[in-house]
Structures are given as structure tokens and as C-alpha cells.
């Protein structure tokens, strides 16, 4: 069975053709600048990837070009569109009407259109894609998959806002949540990974991308999520502000004498990591700038990590505990791993794609040590940058504040205090010694797990997963 998966924007069309026998991606691509000049299509199949100019007045012409790429030339992966058995469309907002995926009919399209005020940028684009696909693919069955559907199990106490109830009844003002397809997938994958029925687990799923959200999943059902009526709420994101005192909106609107649309642009496209750091909306760029002493970049990184920790902690309290915390999404690059490492110490969990809240005292000791080592190395790098940029012949000694940082960390002091400071060679020795100790300590923990301890060591299968997690998240350069 071959399924074409579609994600339409107002001027873009992303696609993948998947052979469900083995879940193999046969091709994937992106149509850009639909309805504009300089349209283009990027198509990848058979190990060949190419971007070519095209003319896309509408999404219909874009779909026609996708068919051409799939059936001819180096990117050919099927002989005819008749080989496509079904088409799946991502639809952002299903409101309270759609609590699961559904077969697309005229009535479904009309309902999605009625819900457009809740997602004015996304739902109309989804409809464009559905109607264009109908023209090109004819009677191929099509299914709408809603971002909001997985969150439809939230109880009223979690999704209602404390405003007059009539606004919910008349206008549907409430929390809906987004990234539902991602949260559902990783929650079920985590249960599969642990070989546990999802009905037995309390999970927290963290989707950390340019748009970020966190969900509390109890026995397979969402009980709370961080995004709200729109994707603007919750965590600070790449360019979105996240949760904000509503009075700030009016204050800025009147103080700056701007329109609601202009303010919406600020909160959606000029805030978040970009707004605070002034550097970038990408977490990698922000952390790199922080490493070189940019205080605003460090603040942005600290704010995001703090907010993740705060929401995760609140969901642990709301569910009365947690068994698994998962991290997914790649647009931030390192944000998932960075957040995992922060949570390792704060909540005593193991970081990784799947973080398991069960571990031995030896593992806890290891993670605490890695945290201290990373923090001291970060401090070392920051101060070394300042030291290297000192004025010529300044006579500036190696920064005493680094010495103090070492003294304040008992663990690092025990391991490294015998080393001297001052010359470039000695500083390099410190750096290399850290890596040697990381490897040595990892071997000690491996040996500990191998010996086993019935009272606190993990089982063999779980131990191997912890070992893999340690390799992934020791976090020091090779």
C-alpha cells in the first residue's frame, strides 16, 4: 500500500510517498513560492535530489508537477498515480468537531472551512491542498489528520480559560493544543521502546522545535498541553513569545500606537529566542553566542530551559508522577538534548530520545558529575575567550574567577585540583584530562552495571539503554 502524505502551507506543499510495506519513503519533496514568481520544486528519490524552477500559479499546478517528478526522470518512483492508494492531509485545527482522523468528504471540507477563524493561516491552506489534490488525483481516498485531535481527551478543567463561559459556548474560546501527531507518535513509540502498554504509563512528551509544546499523557490520553487556543501559547519558541500577561498586549498596542496585526507580527515572528537574544531563532546559534559571552543569548537559553523545567514539573504534579519523558523535533538542533541534560539533574532522569525515570545510584552519580563537568567546561571556554582577547602586554593572568569556579565544585576539585594553571599547554591539559576522566568514569559505570546490584542496578536490557543514553549525552567534544 502506497500513501502520499501532504502538508500544505499557503505558498508551499511538502510531500512524501511512503510504501507501507516496510514503511519505506519512496520519495519526498517541497514545492515553494506557490502563487509567486520564482517558484521551485525540490524532489528527492532513488538517492537523487534536485531543485528545479517551476511555474505554480496555484496548488493544482504544484501537485501536477509532483506527479510528473514521481513518474518520470531520475526521481521516478512509481509508474502511474494509480499506484497511490490513499492521500493523507495534515490539517492544523479540528476544533471540537474532529477528535480523530477522518475520511475527507464535502461536509468535512466545509467544517474545516468553518473552523478557519481558529487557525486563519493554516486551515485555509489545508483546504487549498485538499481541493487541488482532488483535481489532480481524482477519486483516490483522502484522509484529514488533525493536529488538535490527540489533545481532545483533555478534561474541561485543563482546557477552559477563566473568562465568561459564553465566549466558549459562542466562539469556541478554549485550549486546543497542537503538534498532536508528534505527541501521539512519540508517546506510543516510548511505550513500544519500554515494552510496556501505554495504558500503564504516565508520559510527558516534549516537542522542541521552532514551534515547541509539551503534553502530559496519562494512560494514553492527553490530560494537559502547553499550547492554547493558538500555537502562540506555552513555551517561548524560535520567534513566538509563548505565555504572556494579556495586559501586555494592550499596553504595547497603545504605547507603540500600532495595529493588532502589527502586534501579532511582533508576538509571532519577532519574539521568543530571537527577540531575547537578538542573535537568532535557532537554539544552536543562541548557545554558540552564549558560549562566547553574549549575555542576552545566555538569558534566552536560560529562559527556555527554565520554562521547560517548570512545565514538566507541573505535569508531574498534575499526573501524580511520571514514568517516561520523551524529547523530539529537530529544528532547534540541540534543544531537545540541552533540555534533557538540564532535566537530568533537576528531576533525576536519564536524557535521550526516550528518558526513563528509573536508575541506579551509580547512574545518578555519573549524571551529576557530567553536569558539573559541562558547566565548568562552559565557564572555562567563556573565560578563555576573554583571556585570549586581552590587550597586548596586559600582564593579565589566567582568570581567578575560573579558579573560584573550580573550588566551588567539590567533584571537579577532587578530580582536577592537582593540575596547575597559567600556560596554554596546561589549559589544554585540563581540557584533555576532562575527556579522559569522562571515558574512565563511563567505563566504571559500565563495569558497575555489568556486575549488577539487585537492590539498585537496572535490569540488563534497561542498562544497555542507559549506556547508550550516556554515550549520547555526555555532551563533551570528541
Which residues are marked as active site?
Answer: 147
Distance from first CA to last CA of the chain, Å, rounded? 43
Nearest to 81 by CA among 144, 15, 8, 128: 15
Rounded distance between C-alpha atoms, residue 19 and residue 36, angstroms: 32
Q: Are 300 and 285 in contact (CB under 8 A)?
A: no
Q: Are 349 and 364 in contact (CB under 8 A)?
A: no
- Which residue is listed with cell 537559553? 301
Torsion angle, alpha carbons of 179, 182, 183, 188, to 10: 160
What does each C-alpha distance from 154 to 190, 230, 318 come to in angstroms?
20, 16, 12
Evaluated on CA atoms 428, 432, 433, 435, the torsion sign reads: positive
Q: Is 245 helix (H, G, I), strand (E, B) or coil?
A: coil
Which class for 295: exposed (0-12), middle (13-18), buried (19 or more C-beta within 10 A)? exposed
Q: Is 354 helix (H, G, I), strand (E, B) or coil?
A: strand
Sheet of 24-32: strand order equals 48-53, 40-45, 24-32, 13-19, 2-8, 86-91, 142-146, 102-103
Nearest to 3 by CA among 145, 100, 132, 126: 145
What contacts 24+ positions apart, CB below 8 Å, involve 280-289?
A: 281/210, 281/237, 281/238, 281/239, 282/238, 282/331, 282/332, 282/333, 283/332, 283/333, 283/334, 283/335, 283/338, 284/332, 284/333, 284/334, 287/334, 287/338
C-alpha cell at 314: 507541573
Angle in degrees, CA 74, 64, 84, rounded to 5: 75
Q: Are 360 and 453 in contact (CB under 8 A)?
A: yes
327: β partners: 206
Amino acid at each position: 500500500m502506497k500513501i502520499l502524505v501532504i502538508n500544505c502551507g499557503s505558498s508551499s506543499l511538502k510531500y512524501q510517498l511512503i510504501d507501507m510495506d516496510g514503511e519505506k519513503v519512496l520519495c519526498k519533496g517541497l514545492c515553494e513560492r506557490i502563487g509567486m514568481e520564482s517558484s521551485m520544486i525540490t524532489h528527492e528519490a532513488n538517492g537523487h535530489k534536485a531543485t528545479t524552477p517551476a511555474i505554480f500559479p496555484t496548488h493544482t499546478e504544484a501537485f501536477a508537477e509532483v506527479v510528473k517528478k514521481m513518474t518520470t526522470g531520475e526521481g521516478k518512483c512509481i509508474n502511474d498515480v494509480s499506484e497511490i492508494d490513499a492521500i493523507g492531509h495534515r490539517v492544523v485545527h479540528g476544533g471540537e468537531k474532529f477528535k480523530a482522523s477522518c475520511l475527507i468528504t464535502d461536509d468535512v471540507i466545509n467544517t474545516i472551512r468553518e473552523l478557519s477563524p481558529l487557525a486563519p493561516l493554516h486551515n485555509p491552506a489545508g483546504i487549498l491542498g485538499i481541493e487541488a489534490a482532488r483535481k489532480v488525483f481524482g477519486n483516490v481516498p483522502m484522509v484529514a489528520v488533525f493536529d488538535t485531535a490527540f489533545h481532545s481527551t483533555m478534561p474541561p478543567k485543563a482546557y477552559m480559560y477563566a473568562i465568561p463561559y459564553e465566549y466558549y459556548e459562542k466562539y469556541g474560546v478554549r485550549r486546543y493544543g497542537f503538534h498532536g501527531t508528534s505527541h501521539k507518535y512519540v508517546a506510543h513509540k516510548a511505550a513500544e521502546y519500554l515494552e510496556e502498554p501505554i495504558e500503564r504509563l504516565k508520559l510527558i512528551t516534549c516537542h522542541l522545535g521552532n514551534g515547541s509544546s509539551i503534553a502530559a499523557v496519562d494512560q494514553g490520553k492527553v490530560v494537559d498541553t502547553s499550547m492554547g487556543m493558538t500555537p502562540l501559547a506555552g513555551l517561548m519558541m524560535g520567534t513566538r513569545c509563548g505565555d504572556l500577561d494579556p495586559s501586555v498586549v494592550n499596553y504595547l498596542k497603545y504605547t507603540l500606537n500600532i495595529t493588532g496585526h502589527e502586534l501579532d507580527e511582533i508576538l509571532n515572528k519577532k519574539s521568543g529566542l530571537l527577540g531575547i537574544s537578538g542573535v537568532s531563532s535557532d537554539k544552536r546559534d543562541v548557545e554558540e553566542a552564549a558560549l562566547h559571552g553574549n549575555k542576552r543569548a545566555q538569558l534566552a537559553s536560560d529562559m527556555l530551559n527554565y520554562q521547560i523545567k517548570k512545565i514538566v514539573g507541573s505535569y508531574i504534579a498534575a499526573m501524580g508522577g511520571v514514568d517516561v519523558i520523551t524529547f523530539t523535533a529537530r529544528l532547534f538542533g540541540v534543544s531537545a538534548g540541552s533540555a534533557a541534560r538540564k532535566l537530568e539533574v533537576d528531576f533525576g532522569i536519564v536524557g535521550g530520545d526516550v528518558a526513563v525515570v528509573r536508575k541506579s545510584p551509580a547512574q545518578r552519580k555519573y549524571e551529576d558529575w557530567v553536569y558539573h563537568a559541562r558547566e565548568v567546561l562552559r565557564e572555562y571556554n567563556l573565560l578563555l575567550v576573554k583571556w585570549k582577547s586581552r590587550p597586548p602586554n596586559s600582564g593579565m593572568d589566567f582568570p581567578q574567577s575560573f579558579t573560584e569556579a573550580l573550588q566551588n565544585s567539590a567533584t571537579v576539585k577532587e578530580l582536577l585540583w592537582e593540575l596547575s594553571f597559567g600556560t596554554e599547554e596546561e589549559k589544554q591539559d585540563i581540557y584533555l584530562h576532562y575527556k579522559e576522566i569522562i571515558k574512565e568514569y563511563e567505563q566504571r559505570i559500565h563495569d558497575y552495571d555489568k556486575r549488577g546490584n539487585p537492590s539498585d542496578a537496572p535490569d540488563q536490557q534497561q542498562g544497555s539503554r542507559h549506556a547508550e543514553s550516556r554515550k549520547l549525552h555526555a555532551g563533551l567534544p570528541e
